[in-house]
Each structure stands twice: as C-alpha cells, then as structure tokens.
A = this chain, B = another copy of it.
Amino acid sequence: MAEYPPFAVTVDLVVLTVRADELNVLLVRRGIEPYRGRWALPGGFVQIDEDLPAAAVRELTEETGLAEPAGHLEQLGTYGRPDRDPRGRVVTVAWLALLPDLGSPVAGTDAASADWLPVARLTPGQLAFDHDRILADGVERARAKLEYTPLAAAFCPPEFTVAQLRAVYETVWGTRLDPRNFHRKVTGTPGFVEPVGRATEGERGRPAQLFRRGTATLLHPPMLRPS
C-alpha cells in the first residue's frame, strides 16, 4: 500500500435545525490556520480504525453533546478537490444531520466556539474551505427529502402537533401551506405520524392533538411543494 498516494480523510457535518421560524446550521469558529477566525462546518479527521458513520456520530456528539437517535443522520457526499485544503490532499465525507431545537449555546466540549446561524443570513464565500458548497448541497438535500420522506419530524421533539410539523415545512421550504390541507395529508397518510392520544395545554387557541413519528420511511404519494 505504501506505493499509493496518501490522503487525509475527514468528516464534516451539516447540522440543521429549525429555530425561531428560520433554518439554522451549526457552525464553529476556527481557532487555527487555515481560515482562522472564519466560520466552518464542524468536523474532524477520521481515525485510523474508525468507521465513517462512527466518525460522523463522534463529531456530532462532540459538538452538540447529543446522541444521534433524537434526529436523523445520513451521508451527504464526498468532496475532494485537490486544492480544497491548503495543507495538503484532504478528502472529506460530508454528513447531513437533522435535529430538533436543542436550546441555544451548544457548549461544545471542543475548543472552538460553536453556534447556530440562520442559513438565509450567510453570504457566499463566508465559510472556510468549500463549506459553502457543502452547506448548499445539504440544504438542497433536506428540502428535497421533505417531499418524499417523513423526515420533517426529525426537526421536531418526540411529541409534536401538526402545526409544528407544518412550521418545519414552511421554514425549510420558505413557503406557506394551507393548514387544513396539510392536516388532511399528514393524518391521512398511513405511517406518517401516530396519535399519542393527549393534547397540548396552555397554548393559544384550541388544543392540538399530539403525535409521534410513524413507522413509514417513504411518502406515497409525496408531499407536494407549492409551485
């Protein structure tokens, strides 16, 4: 194997959540060169005996203090342009994580400061390396997956109302959805959500039924994005 070109392999995470009616991404401020002081996706080097999903989960827990099962984690893609890291040849495997809102400062165990930033407020070229493109790909993947999977519930706490789920769609897609048609679609699709039996209390308006995530993995037919 020694005759083959040596690469460094990293994992980078696009961690998305919905906070205050905005789609937010978890970013860390880099403490070292290159791109010192710039925002970047959380990530790090894969260890020599570590599986790729394990490396992604490790970085996620290091940065958020949260184990995966609460949300969703999937491989997004691999980026390896020869000039993407000035330190040398680094190939990064990017992962997409969708999490419920976990309160504010992530208090990472890591050195660098981490924080949630609204995706819409980021300007192109603001992130280190090629993280602008990775983030854009992650957001696009998330938008597409809301259409044909029940993954919007990954942005919600374990028990949620139809209105909360609708707010996720409206925030991620940047559109408005009719509450009545959305309610019909969600409750009428087998396996999308399962009723808990209880309702909310102390909120404004009529109490809403609580639901859990269903067992379906695909939406047939899909949730349609307004033209």
Partner among B51, B89, B222 whose Cβ is within 8 Å of the Cβ of A222? B222
Instruction: Tell whether, in the assembled complex, residue A1 and residue B48 are in contact, meaning their CB atoms are under 8 Å apart.
Output: no
Contact partner, A87, options B1, B6, B47, B78, Cβ 8 Å = B1
CB contact under 8 A between A46 and B80, given known A1-B87, A88-B1, A222-B222: yes
Closest to A91 in B: B9
- Say whether A33 faces chain B, with CB atoms less than 8 Å apart: no
On whether the beta carbons of B47 and A5 are closer than 8 Å, the reply is yes
> Please, how many residues of chain A have a CB less than 8 angstroms from a CB on the other chain?
32
The docked-state distance in angstroms from the alpha carbon of A165 to that of B5 is: 43
Asked whether any CB of chain B lies closer than 8 Å to the CB of A174, the reply is no
Q: What's the dominant secondary structure at chain A's contact region?
A: loop
Query: Beyond A4-B45, A91-B91, A222-B222, is A51–B82 a contact (Cβ under 8 Å)?
Result: yes
Q: Is A77 an interface residue (CB 8 A)?
A: yes
A221 to chain B, nearest CB (A): 8
Check A201 for interface membership: any CB of B closer than 8 A. no
Interface residues of A in 39-97 (CB under 8 A from B): 45-52, 75, 77-82, 87-91, 93
Tell me the smallest distance from the CB of A224 to a CB of chain B, in Å. Answer: 8
Partner of A9, one of B7, B48, B50, B52: B7
In the complex, residue of chain B having the shortest beta-carbon distance to the beta carbon of A74: B77
> Closest residue of chain B to A82, judged by CB?
B49
15 contacts between A and B (CB under 8 A): A1-B90, A4-B8, A5-B45, A5-B48, A7-B7, A7-B8, A7-B91, A48-B89, A51-B80, A51-B81, A51-B82, A52-B79, A78-B93, A80-B93, A148-B148
Binding site for B on A (CB under 8 A): 1, 4-9, 45-52, 75, 77-82, 87-91, 93, 148, 221-222, 224
Known: A5-B9, A48-B82, A77-B78. 5 other contacts (CB 8 A): A5-B47, A5-B48, A9-B80, A48-B89, A52-B91
